[in-house]
Amino acid sequence: MSGATRGHPAQAGFSFGPTALVTPANAITVARLLAAPVYVVMLVVWGASWINVVVGFVLAASDGLDGYLARRHGTTRSGAFLDPLADKAVVLGALITLAAQSRLPWLPVVLITARELGMQAYRSWVGRRGVSIPARKTAKLKTLVQDFAIGVCIIPPLAHQHDLQLAMIWFACALTLYTGAEYLLDGRRALHRPTAPSGS
């Protein structure tokens, strides 16, 4: 689910400046962030169930919706920070819950968690230096694979397919670490890119 990189505003009748806080996109993002602990409780209470599948799908789809609204009405610095935070709260909350229930092994979940939290800190660090690093398409694929890794644990017909769950979580882990390395390399290039002379 990553909408961290949001494009330029389209012709939408109105747009928000980069410092705006109250926007339709941010409202959806905050709702996703607040829904993350509720979703964790639902996973604990109902486990593999269709209601959890539906709620998980809605949370994943809303990531695309807030990204669309941001592109349509203008990007904001608050949205650029909150959007990946909401993604990570939902995904990591679900993965840690599933690991605590022994439905997923801890090692790939810990590696994914460390990468996601580390990248969030790194994103903030480079942002304070005025550097914005666009997310690659592989980052969006990573989020999708993480969602599938969760899905194969909570979709009732797949709930006992342990080999499939193991394959998916390790695939998600490998892709998560790979995209993290990509982001670090992109950040290093951006930080060391020479600044164009004034007036050029």
Going from N- to C-terminal start, the domains of the chain cover 24-191
Please provide the average confidence, as pLDDT, over all residues in the chain.
83
Confidence (pTM): 0.81
Distance of CA 54 to CAs 15, 31, 57, Å? 32, 16, 5
Average pLDDT over residues 40-51: 96
At 44, is the pLDDT very low, low, confident or very high (cuts 50, 70, 90)?
Answer: very high
Q: Residues 78-89: pLDDT tens digits?
A: 666 677 788 889
Residue 24 pLDDT > 60, yes or no?
yes
**What's the fold here for domain 24-191?**
Four Helix Bundle (Hemerythrin (Met), subunit A) (1.20.120)
